[in-house]
């Protein structure tokens, strides 16, 4: 099975750009990469996302799992390779940095009902299922060294326990906690924290990352018996679905494959084989599930192979099976 690179490069400019950077290893100074990036920034869909996010943070959060949430769209443009120096992105970053909590993480408008332990009122707050993703995006966008971003990173890392990261929310949200035992790790919070820390070179090999990764992989091994905070790893979990929003196979593989020291972990390799088994004879991958909020994108359908999904799958394979990507 080979990477269908010609097919990928024939795709939309944001797919071509990332294929050239991530799969072919071409530099930012390569004329073809520069051309693809210029076309990506001019792409109507990408421009629409930037315009939408310029009104950050948007509406009050009702569900962190909603693929239409602005912070999920934020991580997507960061994954495409946009930076704070690109037109319009500086505005988004400035608006994010304006709302930092006293603890350090950046805030979003939320409303937790009283019967769930919240106040029932709109307020600025953060939770460990959104704060790390905002940090991840800010680092990818190129503002990791800002003191306010460093403060957020330091605080979030300090929340790790000996079994990963728990369900934690800011003081504004009262006694709210997800549907699980207090001593359990929150699988998604742990995945989100690993995602953020994987982008920070000084922390990528930290004890916190080792603890978090082992927690996630142990849950994979025990997936038939353990479901902390009602996060399952069954049939739906294994369906390929992009962009990265929630707790599923390819999102988990994308995060864990960023840690070189996991390459030979049997648990990770088991997950990888499941991913590879979903390719067609041409090495292409078709979504098994979609996010309705992204139905207008090329990966927002289940009838034919998706170039974006295929690119991400091969990037995971490359990270684990080679020394590149």
Q: Provide Rg for the chain, Cα atoms.
A: 19
Picking from 271, 247, 239, 240, the residue whose alpha carbon sits closest to that of residue 186 is 247
Tokens of 111: 């409303």
pTM of the predicted protein model: 0.95
The answer to whether 65 touches 231, Cβ cutoff 8 Å, is no
Helices (H) and strands (E) counted in the chain, each on its own, are 14, 2
Is-cis flag, bond preceding 164, omega within 30?
no
pLDDT at 63: 80
Mind giving me the DSSP string for 10-31?
A: TS-HHHHHHIIIIIS---TTSH
pLDDT tens for the chain, residues 1 to 325: 899 999 999 999 999 999 999 999 999 999 999 999 999 999 999 999 999 999 999 876 778 888 889 999 999 999 999 999 999 999 999 999 999 999 999 999 987 677 666 677 788 999 999 999 999 999 999 999 999 999 999 999 999 999 999 999 998 877 667 777 889 999 999 999 999 999 999 999 999 999 999 999 999 999 999 898 889 999 999 999 999 999 999 999 999 999 999 999 999 999 999 999 999 999 999 999 999 999 999 999 999 999 999 999 999 999 999 865 5
pLDDT at 115: 66
Domain ranges in the chain are: 55-321
CATH of 55-321, one of 1.50.10, 1.25.40, 2.60.40, 2.40.10: 1.50.10
The answer to whether 122 touches 164, Cβ cutoff 8 Å, is no
pLDDT at 118: 65
Residue 244 φ/ψ, nearest 5 degrees: -70, 115
pLDDT at 117: 62
């Amino acid at each position: 099975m080979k990477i269908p690179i010609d097919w990928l490069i024939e795709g939309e400019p944001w797919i071509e750009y990332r294929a050239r950077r991530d799969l072919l290893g071409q530099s930012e100074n390569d004329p073809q990469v520069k051309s693809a990036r210029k076309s990506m920034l001019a792409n109507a869909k990408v421009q629409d996302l930037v315009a939408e996010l310029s009104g950050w943070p948007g509406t009050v959060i009702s569900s962190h799992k909603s693929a239409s949430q602005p912070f999920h769209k934020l991580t997507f443009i960061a994954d495409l390779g946009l930076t704070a120096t690109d037109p319009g992105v500086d505005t988004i970053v400035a608006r994010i940095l304006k709302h930092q909590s006293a603890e350090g993480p950046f805030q979003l408008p939320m409303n937790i009902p009283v019967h769930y332990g919240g106040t029932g009122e709109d307020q600025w707050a953060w939770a460990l299922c959104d704060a790390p993703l905002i940090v991840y995006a800010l680092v990818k966008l190129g503002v990791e060294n800002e003191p306010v971003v460093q403060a957020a990173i330091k605080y979030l890392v300090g929340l790790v326990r000996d079994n990963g990261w728990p369900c934690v929310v800011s003081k504004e949200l009262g006694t709210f906690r997800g549907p699980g035992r207090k001593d359990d790790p929150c699988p998604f919070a742990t995945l989100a924290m690993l995602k953020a820390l994987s982008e920070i070179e000084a922390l990528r090999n930290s004890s916190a990352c080792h603890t978090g990764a082992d927690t996630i992989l142990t849950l994979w091994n025990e997936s038939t018996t353990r479901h902390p905070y009602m996060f399952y790893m069954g049939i739906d979990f294994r369906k390929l679905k992009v962009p990265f929003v929630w707790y599923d196979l390819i999102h988990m593989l994308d995060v864990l494959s960023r840690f070189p020291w996991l390459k030979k972990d049997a648990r990770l390799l088991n997950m990888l084989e499941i991913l590879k088994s979903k390719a067609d004879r041409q090495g292409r991958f078709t979504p098994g599930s979609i996010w309705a909020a992204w139905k207008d994108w090329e990966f927002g359908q289940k009838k034919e192979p998706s170039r974006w999904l295929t690119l991400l799958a091969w990037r995971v394979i490359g990270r684990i099976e080679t020394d590149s990507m």
